[in-house]
Structure 1
Amino acid sequence: MRVGATDMEFRVLGPVQIWACGQPVPAGEPRQRAVLAMLLIEAGRTVSMPTLVDRIWDDEPPAQAYRSVQAHVARIRRALERAAGADCGRGGVPPSQPLVRGPGGYVLSVTGEDVDLHRFRALVARSHDAGTTDRDRAALLREALDLWLGEPLTGVAGAWAARTRDVLRQEHADALVAWAHAEVRTGNAAAAVRPLTELLDERPTDESVAAVLMRVLYAVGRPSQALERYDRIRRTLREELGTDPGPELREVHQAVLRHDLDTAAGKSAPARAVPAQLPADVGAFTGRSAELAALDSFVDAEPTTAPVIVGITGTAGVGKTALAVRWAHLVRDRYPDGQLYVNLRGYDPQRPMTPDEVLSIFLAALTPDERHLPADVEARAARYRTETAGRRMLVILDNASTVEQVRLLLPGSPGCTVLITSRSSLAGLVALHDAGRVMLSPLPTPDATSLLRRLVGSAVEDEPEASRALVRHCDGLPLALRITAELALSRPAISLAALAAELAEKQRRLELLSSGGDPRAAVRTVFSWSVQHLAVSSAQTFALLGLHPGSEFDAYAVAALADTDLDDAGRRLDGLARAHLVHRVGNRQFGIHDLLHVYATRLATAPAADPDALEPPVDAPAASRRLVDYYLAASAAAMNVLHPGEAARRPPVPPPATPVPSFPDRAAAQEWLNVELPNLVAVSAYAATVDCLTQAVQLSPVLFRYLDDGHDAAAVSVHQQARDAAHRLGDRTGEAVAMVALGAAHTQAGRYAAAVDELNRAVHAARDGGDRLAEARAVGNLGQLHERFGRYRSSSAHYRRALALYRQVGDRVGLAHALTRLGVVGARLGRHNDAHGHLRHALRLHRQAGHRFGEAWALLGLAELDARTGRPQTAAERSRQAVTQFRELGHRTSEAWALTGLGTAERLLGRYAQARDRHLHALHLFRELGDDDGQASALNGLGEAADVAGQAPTALAYYRSALAIATRTGARDEQARAHAGLARVHQSGREDSADEST
């Protein structure tokens, strides 16, 4: 306080003190200092007498408590008068007494500038102002941190002081972390090493402190110490909390391992993953020096404001992919932000890749923790352009058929290079996007002969005429030359001349029996000739691979196609790999070149008169049915391990005729589903084309719970295929079940109008089919939509209808689900007794059914009721149990909701730092999953935790963010919650120091 000639200031960030003229003034005994601290922390606002009494004596005040407080206040007034009487040698008029009696209590009328805590908070708020440079931010935060002189409220005892110290310590930690980030960005990371190390020693489980310390250590050239810090906190989290590091800390760890932590920007790659999707480099690559130089020239040309786009065109089998992959490996260091690759399968007669599918794959690689994608393909394309903006990336779009197939896959900013391979000339790409073009011709004879020499060896020198004949018969096409060379190596007793004669004879026969003019004639001839020399079982296996609708397959899929055991399937695959007819793409997965896939399809479906027909022929329809049966059965087996409590709600799936993987635990089941998801989506569409409509219908309910956890695009595809297949079968029940699942998928993706439409149609379909169970599920899901929009009476009516239907059919799990939601809605309507009865009943039913997923949701409902009725300790215990169960089940959406419940309970228990951590963890999960409603809930939880902890600027920022999301999505509960939070802060007057620009 600076009035007249007096300089007076107050300190609580250390010992509670009054200072005048640069000297401390005695502030009295501990309870007197406690009263002074309360008045200073609430400076300018009245503190009631009951509040002072409760805080001093922790709910056990003496009989004369009010008189004792009055005595303490009188002594504080005398201390203030002594301080005010010091004129610091300059003279002047003493100020008036700042401690006065207000309505119902006392108020200390000093400004924020006079109290170290309020100066600290004001400096921190200023550091967040829009337009503040990192250098100014670091200076403001350093000034704020310098105000701390030790443990806050030193010498003040009691529960209130302990709670307040926890809040203040968290504010100090947050400011120190923010200061460290600013110092890193200004190149002064070394200054932060010691303060952060000391802070992490005090808070060994604080992940935000550990993350910034790792950044600092990396920035000063000590990455090994950064990794040691990660190992230490990981062990501590597991031993003390039973958890693993969260997303932020894991991302920093991965960035340190990759040596690409962006210390200049203060952030690493959570949103900037570095994909490395290039296929393996091409062995024995020969020639093409002019074409490689041409690709270099396009990239080295004068920079523009657009990405570099180059088309590599030429006939089938001429080596377009090999050239693109070889060049990509030569220049990959130019693209430190990653390389994307996709085989568009543009000439696959069954299933070319759509732009929508490719964008899903690319966005998954660019944002690996983000499993929710925009629903509209144009929106996905816009997101893709956003994710590639400002990056130096290489994108290879292999085997494109048209410009339209690649138009949405082009980045929008410079720094990226796109290679597109195609049999088409891509004239539209050149005209509209200023693309360059490299046109590939067959290898010249010298280069083709050189390739053959590298593949076969000295035999080429020993039989030059025969070698030239083989080159001629292969038309200089590298793919044909490689297959021919493998055949030569596999038959060492036969001369090259004999092989050339065989190939010539085969070529003449095919030319006589075909219409001619096929630009792939040479490749087709070599394929035919190569397959002819396979064992019958291997040739048939190769042909059967043409029936597989996905891009990759394993021995189980081959066993299903070939109707054989797993060992034999593995041997057949190994033989085909040695013959270069398939190639490995992982530990267990194989792929096939698109031309070979087309040829395999031809073999599998050729009529007996066709020159390519196999003898004996394969039974394509039977093989297709076995394949679909296998994927359905394997999916059911995985789901029975992952969610055994819902097995009775899934359709019975008969065991297939061929092997199915065993899943020893949930992790193995989850991994199989994650790897096979693209195949499962493809098979759901394929089933309808091969007379497997029933299996297409069954895949939807079998995969429902797995797809329900963030796989929105796949869920929509699988459930739509099931709905359409059921319609073709006239199966109204199957149609209703698929519509219910499709409605849930639309709800998860935020397409609420589509969800309501689908669920209403499901109700009608279920009634038409006489399926009360499907009707109950549809009605219950409609209830959840009403609940989401805060229409609790309407949702309650829907749940009661569903409850009656579940009782009629005797479905205990459905009954328990409906009771859980009815209980939650009852709690929100204030019907606490009814809610408790419903939730306890639901919990018993779920436990009897062994349905741990539903049990966890019932626990979470009870926890919410406990929190509303003043039992926060029980709420915390139940929420913690729900978190554990959802985590074990691998259902991250539900885990995030349980974390928000736990955060609320922690706040009610006064554990504000823990509440903040729970809500932050939930927020990370919701963001990864793209769950907007969840984000709004977690942000409101963070606002409430900051609010009660006295962090008004932080609370305002969280409430505003929650309100913006909830307004956009229409979540009325979260809107109301955010509005209430904002009103509380404003009404308390604490918003004066808030950063309005946050």
Structure 2
Amino acid sequence: MDFRVLGPIRLHTAGGSIGFGEPRRQAVLAVLLFEAGRTVDVDVLVDRVWGESPPRQVRRSLQAHITRIRRALEQADPGSTYVAREAGGYRLVVRPEQVDVHRFRNALRNHPTDAATLRSALSLWYGEPLAGLRGHWVERTRRTLREEHAAAVVAWAEAEIRGGGAASTITQLTELTDEYPLRETAAAALMRALYAVDRGADALAQYERTRRVLREELGADPGPELAAVHGAILRHDPRLTATVRAAVPAQLPADITAFTGRAEELAELDRLTGRTGDEPVVIGVTGTAGSGKTATVVHWCHRERSRFPDGQLYLDLCGYDPGEPLPPTEALAMLLTALLPAGAKIPLRPEERAARFRTEVSARRMLVVLDNAATVEQVRPLLPGTSTCVVMVTSRDSLAGLVALHGAHRVQLDRLPAADSVALLGRLIGDRVTAAPEAAAALAERCVRLPLTLRLAAEHAVSRPTTSLARLVDELQAAQRALDLLSGGDDQRAAVRVVFSWSLRRLSPAARRSFAALGRHPAPLFDAYALAALAGCPLDEARRQLDVLVRAHLIHPAGADRFGMHDLLKAYAAETGDDFDAHTALDRVYGYYLATVSAAMDCLYPGEAHRRPSVAAPVSPVPAITNVDVARDWLGTELPAVQALVARAVTRGRPEHAVTLSALLFRYLDGHHQAVALAINRDAQAAARATGDRAAEANARIALGGVHHQAGRIELAAAEMWAAHTLFEEVGDVLGQARALGNVGMLTESAGRYPRAAYYYARALTLFQQVGDVTGQAHVLTRLGTVEVRMGDGTAGRQHLDEAKVLHRRAGHRFGEAWVKMGLGELAAVEGRPAEAVRLHSEAARTFAELGHGDSEAWAIDGRGRAESLSGHPFTAADQHRQALEQFRRHGDQVGESWALNGLGEACQADGYPAMARSHHAEALVVATRAGCQEQIARARRGLARAAAPVDTQTARQHYDHAIAIYTELGLSAVEATRAELAILT
């Protein structure tokens, strides 16, 4: 059952298309469809269908229409009830996803930058929405839908342009600018698209057309965005191209020193990547461990990187590490993090991530290296869908499924030819190889002619410059003979192990112990502190041993003071050290990370230290966390390792560490690193369930709710918060219940439902007072005072904010105190003290910047913009709102984005640019609708009314009516000012 209102009102079923007769009946059905699944009051139905002057027997007419609609639906689906009579009204018993308008709006709400999803949403339109219907509600709804459609076209076009598909957008953008010649966002997008396809002259002509219309119709000049695009085109500014193209990653590891041989394989890669066709080029480079698969691919990629100007992605899938392979959903998050702007929202579900990845690489000439794949299933979701991409997959597996199902080409790496093996030894050892060619050839054979073992043997030879190669061959042969007796002989892996052991034997006992310790490290990268914890040695000793292992080619540098290890060597290292107590070593390394994370969090957020779990003093060295910069940098660097540790704790019998790390990191991850936060907190939830710790599970669900809230997934966020509340009730955790209720209040506040938010905050406050939690009281007092200010109760708001300030200061909680300053800044603004409001918001912004909370800083900057507007400085205000808007978008905060867009629109209106104001408010309306922020929907409507008032009184009145209805429903004082503006208009 597919209901359609984005065109004629129709029902599409497997049996065909069904109409519903006369327009009044269609209008009744349309109202029910727009409220699908919700009860619609009879009076609302009458008002929307018949308007202000309904006939005397209107309820009888409505009942007759309902009866015929019910009959038509039951004939289409016998045995089902589709129209239910409920107290006071009627409800259409269908799911919103069965109605095209809800599918369209959900696509805009959940995937605002996904070109494929937006394209699909636009395809739902079959003509004029609500075609053939008339009436006040119909016309108002139709105008809203047209605005949303226009905004969706621009959003889709921008997504296509970013992905390199500008050519596909030009026709629709041209039609849109013809229909809406004053819509500057559409004109700017069209200019970018034209410039991207080398039609710069046409882009300049479009600017002149738009400029002329703005002058003739509104007496205004083009706004900053349009003017900036125009100027960039005139200058051929490369930054304009940067706005057209997405981020250009360059993730290839360093090329391999002294790479030797593989001429045939490199030539085959040249041949395969030179093929043309409609499918992406996927190449599987397979071979035994140590055969140089990664080295060969990385060497080829460096040689040919200029062929891929849109970027090179590299991802180690850890398919053969001692730990778990990288799950595809996490791999997709890492790839999207490299492709998207910092802080951009990463989809929640794996299939959405895969679709977003394909969208981001669509039409881009990119190289994607997927290293160390365990199985085809691990790779399949990571494959692009465009012929412009080349994908290199390395694996010990034959990747037969990739070849059979995805048309991949396989390049098999065997052992190096004898001549190439000797040549590699010559490049690494030097003249001794030339002087003793037979011994060099024998050494190559004893190393099984594998690049990894050849390099280790060469390092062994270099470290013993006075020992002949023949002597080294004899030593290696003797060691292999001994192992052959134990293993049955003629085992290539046994020979590799002998070379490893040969390299290891020349090391000191401390270096061998360090090597064994690193084989047990749960994370892929490590530093001296991690080694000191694993090996139980002093820090200086750990640093010395890392240097020794690097020189021995047993580990490799992987960044500043960070190191990695080949998975084959790591697996071997994990088998060595018979006397090594791996269990105790892991306890020490977890202790190191727990203690350092705790210290960093105490430095950044001292006011919440009592809420975080207590951590035992570490038995190994930890870095000195001396200030907030050091704390923030350490957490940022070590976050991938901590994520790996959390995942390892869940699967390897230490679930309590996963729970503790998640709880420690709560505030740091709150509003940051969405993909990592989601993974860590999900692991923590699983760990808590495994141990039966329901309070810990509730804490993890609160954290997950925060991630969903930040990403705009309000329903999921609310579900997590209420689930956490239930769990806390079951275990009698009053503090947890208070935290959950406070978070529900924040969700409610985001929607603009301030009285209801105040109710939840008051309940939470009572519980926080009951358990004596000062920080919790301070937090909810801050939010309670702020919403009271917004509801017009300045006296109560000031009292609660002042109480919160005292409590935050007592706890040393600068983060919370900065939010208090923002609330007091709002109060100063409404009481006519804009200069004080500017000062308070500026102080809050500085604090958030120091703590590294970009999203909170954006709220402070946006509040400063509102204060500047009240000070009579609209130009300065617009600049502040633009800064805030950029940061909100970077952090994926849609509620904040709607606030900043409305602020920008109000500043433009005050500065005499109604067309620009209209554009910003229209965009705010779309974003606020997507985020479910009712207050900002009303604010956008009010702004649109002001922008339309001079030239279109009817449209202005409709927008005012919408705004008044929402403000009235929310119980906000803005309703009176909005009514006054409407009265002046009429």
Q: TM-score, normalised by structure 1?
A: 0.73
Q: Does 1:338 align with 2:314?
A: no
Give 1:679 shift: 0.5
Aligned to 2:238: 262
Aligned to 1:138: 204
Q: Deviations over 1:184-240 (max 9, x none)?
A: 53xxx3xxxxxxxxxxxxxxxxxxxxxxxxxx3xx4xxxxxxxxxxxxxxxxxxxxx
Q: Does 1:722 align with 2:684?
A: yes
Q: Deviations over 1:335-380 (max 9, x none)?
A: 2222111211112241211222222222222234234311122222
Aligned to 1:444: 417
CA contact (8 A) 1:123 1:141 kept: no
User: What is the alpha-carbon distance in structure 2 between the residues aligned to residue 957 and residue 313 of structure 1?
Assistant: 54
Give 1:557 shift: 0.3
Give 1:323 shift: 0.8
Which of 978, 983, 986 is equivalent to 2:940? 978
AA aligned opposite 2:717: A
Give 1:787 shift: 2.1
Three-state SS of the structure 1 residue aligned to 2:767 is: helix
Q: Cα–Cα, structure 1 residues 179 and 580, in superposed 2: closer, same or farther, change >3 Å?
A: same
Q: Does 1:128 align with 2:187?
A: yes
Give 1:671 shift: 1.5
Which of 247, 255, 258 is equivalent to 1:273? 247
Q: Cα–Cα, structure 1 residues 285 and 125, in superposed 2: closer, same or farther, change >3 Å?
A: closer
AA aligned opposite 1:937: W
CA contact (8 A) 1:336 1:392 kept: yes
CA contact (8 A) 1:371 1:711 kept: no
Which of 617, 642, 645 is equivalent to 1:683? 645
Aligned to 2:544: 571
Aligned to 2:663: 701
Q: Does 1:670 align with 2:729?
A: no
Which of 841, 861, 883 is equivalent to 2:823? 861
Q: Cα–Cα, structure 1 residues 496 and 435, in superposed 2: closer, same or farther, change >3 Å?
A: same
CA contact (8 A) 1:372 1:711 kept: no
User: What is the alpha-carbon distance in structure 1 between the residues aligned to residue 189 and residue 324 of structure 2?
Assistant: 50
Q: Deviations over 1:641-665 (max 9, x none)?
A: 2223322332222220111111333
Aligned to 2:603: 641
Give 1:125 shift: 6.3
Q: Does 1:323 align with 2:296?
A: yes
Q: Deviations over 1:652-694 (max 9, x none)?
A: 2222011111133322221111111110111112234555443
User: What is the alpha-carbon distance in structure 1 between the residues aligned to residue 554 and residue 812 of structure 2?
Assistant: 48
Give 1:299 shift: 1.8
AA aligned opposite 1:316: A
AA aligned opposite 1:280: A
Larger Cα-atom Rg:
1
Three-state SS of the structure 1 residue aligned to 2:372 is: strand
Aligned to 2:673: 711
CA contact (8 A) 1:621 1:690 kept: no
Q: Does 1:561 align with 2:534?
A: yes
AA aligned opposite 1:631: Y
Aligned to 1:480: 453
Give 1:519 shift: 5.2
Aligned to 1:535: 508
Residue range with higher mean Cα deviation, 568-577 or 781-790:
781-790
Q: Deviations over 1:832-861 (max 9, x none)?
A: 321221112112221222211111111111
Aligned to 2:272: 298
Q: Cα–Cα, structure 1 residues 583 and 270, in superposed 2: closer, same or farther, change >3 Å?
A: farther
Aligned to 1:77: none
Residue range with higher mean Cα deviation, 881-890 or 360-369:
360-369
Q: Cα–Cα, structure 1 residues 457 and 964, in superposed 2: closer, same or farther, change >3 Å?
A: same
CA contact (8 A) 2:752 2:936 kept: no
Give 1:729 shift: 3.9
Q: Does 1:425 align with 2:398?
A: yes
Q: Cα–Cα, structure 1 residues 543 and 123, in superposed 2: closer, same or farther, change >3 Å?
A: closer
Question: What are the residue-to-residue correspondences of 1:875-894 with 2, within 5 Å?
Answer: 875-894=837-856
Q: Does 1:402 align with 2:375?
A: yes
CA contact (8 A) 1:899 1:919 kept: yes
Aligned to 2:524: 551
Aligned to 1:963: 925
User: What is the alpha-carbon distance in structure 1 between the residues aligned to residue 747 and residue 221 of structure 2?
Assistant: 42
User: What is the alpha-carbon distance in structure 2 between the residues aligned to residue 543 and residue 957 of structure 1?
Assistant: 63
CA contact (8 A) 1:827 1:835 kept: yes
Q: Deviations over 1:155-180 (max 9, x none)?
A: xxxxxxxxxxxx99xx65846x7456
Give 1:632 shift: 1.0
AA aligned opposite 2:229: H
Q: TM-score, normalised by structure 2?
A: 0.74
Q: Cα–Cα, structure 1 residues 283 and 808, in superposed 2: closer, same or farther, change >3 Å?
A: same
AA aligned opposite 2:246: R
Residue range with higher mean Cα deviation, 366-375 or 134-143:
134-143
User: What is the alpha-carbon distance in structure 2 between the residues aligned to residue 580 and residue 716 of structure 1?
Assistant: 36
Q: Deviations over 1:60-112 (max 9, x none)?
A: xxxxxxxxxxxxxxxxxxxxxxxxxxxxxxxxxxxxxxxxxxxxxxxxxxxxx
AA aligned opposite 1:949: D
User: What is the alpha-carbon distance in structure 1 between the residues aligned to residue 547 and residue 534 of structure 2?
Assistant: 16
CA contact (8 A) 1:311 1:426 kept: yes
CA contact (8 A) 1:395 1:416 kept: yes
AA aligned opposite 2:248: V
Give 1:974 shift: 1.8
Which of 702, 715, 725 is equivalent to 1:763? 725
User: What is the alpha-carbon distance in structure 2 between the residues aligned to residue 401 and residue 127 of structure 1?
Assistant: 46
AA aligned opposite 2:470: A
Aligned to 2:800: 838
Q: Cα–Cα, structure 1 residues 547 and 854, in superposed 2: closer, same or farther, change >3 Å?
A: same
Give 1:589 shift: 0.3
Which of 332, 335, 338 is equivalent to 1:365? 338
Give 1:269 shift: 5.3
Q: Deviations over 1:265-296 (max 9, x none)?
A: x3325853222211111112111111111111
Give 1:991 shift: 8.2
Aligned to 2:741: 779
Aligned to 2:474: 501
CA RMSD of the aligned region, Å?
A: 2.9
Consecutive unaligned residues of structure 1, counting only runs of 5 or more, are: 1-120, 150-166, 190-215, 220-260, 604-613
User: What is the alpha-carbon distance in structure 2 between the residues aligned to residue 127 and residue 712 of structure 1?
Assistant: 31
Q: Cα–Cα, structure 1 residues 941 and 288, in superposed 2: closer, same or farther, change >3 Å?
A: same
The percentage of counterpart residues that share the same residue type is 48
User: What is the alpha-carbon distance in structure 2 between the residues aligned to residue 770 and residue 477 of structure 1?
Assistant: 62
CA contact (8 A) 2:182 2:915 kept: no
Three-state SS of the structure 2 residue aligned to 1:520 is: helix
AA aligned opposite 1:621: H
Give 1:413 shift: 1.8
User: What is the alpha-carbon distance in structure 2 between the residues aligned to residue 847 and residue 370 of structure 1?
Assistant: 30
Q: Cα–Cα, structure 1 residues 742 and 129, in superposed 2: closer, same or farther, change >3 Å?
A: closer
User: What is the alpha-carbon distance in structure 1 between the residues aligned to residue 502 and residue 712 of structure 2?
Assistant: 54
User: What is the alpha-carbon distance in structure 1 between the residues aligned to residue 213 and residue 271 of structure 2?
Assistant: 60
User: What is the alpha-carbon distance in structure 2 between the residues aligned to residue 178 and residue 917 of structure 1?
Assistant: 16
Q: Cα–Cα, structure 1 residues 371 and 677, in superposed 2: closer, same or farther, change >3 Å?
A: farther
Consecutive unaligned residues of structure 2, counting only runs of 5 or more, are: 1-179, 195-199, 957-986
Q: Cα–Cα, structure 1 residues 402 and 515, in superposed 2: closer, same or farther, change >3 Å?
A: farther
Q: Cα–Cα, structure 1 residues 778 and 880, in superposed 2: closer, same or farther, change >3 Å?
A: same
Which of 853, 858, 862 is equivalent to 1:896? 858
AA aligned opposite 1:539: R
AA aligned opposite 2:266: L
Give 1:382 shift: 2.1
Three-state SS of the structure 2 residue aligned to 1:364 is: helix
Give 1:968 shift: 2.0
CA contact (8 A) 1:584 1:590 kept: yes
Give 1:127 shift: 9.5
